[in-house]
Structures are given as C-alpha cells and as structure tokens.
C-alpha cells in the first residue's frame, strides 16, 4: 500500500468538509482547499479546526461561527506603528525592520470551530459579505477565473498571490482525480450489488439444501 504524502493526507482529510460547505456557498472546492493549504501550510498549523486563520475581529458570525469559540494563537504581525495593542506581545518586540515597519511576535485572538466544516462555512460567508468580491462571485463555476478575480479584488497583499493559489489549485485537483475523491459515492453501488448478490446466492443454496 502506497504511503500518502502530507499534501494527499490534507486533501483526503478535508475534501468532504469543503465539498459539503460548497453546496451552500457555491465557493469552488479546489479554491477553498487551496486557500486553506496556503493559510495552514498544508495542515501543519490547524488549531481549533480553524482552516483559514480568521481572527475574532468584530465577533460577527458569517454562518459557521455561531458558538463564538476563540483561541489564543502565536502569530507575526507588521505595523507602521510601534504602539500596537495585542493581548500579549513577546518580550523584545516590536522590532523595526529595514523597511521601517515594526515586526511583532504576539498572541492574538482567533476563531475556533466545532469541526472544519464550520470553518469553511464561516470563511465562505466572509467572502459573500464583503462587497469587494461581488464580481468574483459571478465566476463561482469557473474556479481559476474565480481565483483570479479574488486576487484582483485584493484578498492578499502578496503580489504573487494569484500565481501561488492557482498552483496549489492544480496540485489539489490532481490529487482529487488521482484518489477519485469526487467519485467516492459511486463506489457504494457495486458494493451493494455484490452484497445483495451474495445474499441471493446464499438463500438459494439454503432452499436447495433443506435440513
């Protein structure tokens, strides 16, 4: 039996959560998984079922955060000010970088979820509630065009964001096809047929050989 790679394990583990959330939101599954892979390092930094690194923020529920669970997580922040407030700032910070910005190592309040599914729903709701993604949402049936428009709308400050996210989407799509994740339900039909067939044969044998 072939050993799964970390990327394959990530996709196999979270594919159904993303697909289930997509039934409500329509956000392309491959984009949702790619964004989560980018945010979490392919699942290396997922705590409290938080797939997208969403902070508590205003505390508004976008559809999957109804219980309002939170968690303190260590993160790095950059600011033009050396006087930013965080729940906890590590000793020795902030440090001024060569660009003039201040680097903080802090603990901040992030959202936590009962399961990964609710994280996917909350993140999708966040996209829907933000007017800047209105045009992107018109292309939900075209994952790569959707990714392009989300990037153009300013989802991330990284100028190479569109290239990165599309590369991840291609990797994830290949894994989905290779592992036949989008066809798993079809596997139940032949299994049921085999079981029913076996029962019919067994009954026939018993009838032909009464005690």
Residues labelled catalytic: 77, 122
Buried b (16+ CB within 10 A) or exposed e, 112-129: bbeebbbbbbbbbbbbee
Contact by Cβ (8 Å): 113, 123: no
Q: Tokens for 74?
A: 């260590």
Q: Tokens for 54?
A: 């969403």
Q: Where are the beta strands (DSSP E) in 66-139?
A: 70-79, 88-89, 95-96, 102-111
Residues in the chain: 211
Residue (of 51, 37, 169, 61) closest to 117 by Cα position: 51
- DSSP state at residue 91: T
H/E stretch holding 198 reads helix 188-208
Contact by Cβ (8 Å): 142, 148: no
């Amino acid at each position: 039996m072939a050993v799964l790679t970390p990327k394959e394990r990530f996709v196999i583990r979270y594919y159904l959560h993303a697909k289930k959330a997509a039934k409500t939101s329509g956000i392309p599954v491959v984009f949702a998984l790619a964004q989560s892979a980018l945010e979490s390092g392919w699942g290396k930094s997922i705590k409290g079922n938080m797939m997208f690194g969403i902070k508590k923020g205003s505390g508004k529920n976008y559809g999957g955060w109804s219980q309002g669970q939170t968690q303190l997580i260590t993160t790095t922040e950059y600011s033009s000010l050396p006087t930013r407030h965080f729940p906890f700032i590590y000793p020795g910070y902030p440090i001024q970088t060569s660009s003039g910005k201040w680097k903080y190592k802090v603990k901040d309040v992030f959202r936590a979820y009962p399961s990964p599914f609710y994280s996917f729903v909350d993140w999708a709701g966040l996209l829907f509630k933000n007017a800047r993604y209105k045009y992107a949402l018109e292309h939900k049936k075209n994952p790569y065009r959707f990714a392009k428009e989300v990037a153009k709308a300013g989802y991330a400050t990284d100028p190479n964001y569109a290239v990165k996210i599309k590369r991840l989407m291609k990797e994830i799509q290949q894994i989905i096809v290779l592992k036949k994740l989008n066809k798993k339900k079809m596997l139940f039909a032949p299994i049921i047929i085999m079981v029913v067939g076996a029962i019919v044969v067994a009954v026939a044998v018993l009838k032909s050989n009464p005690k």
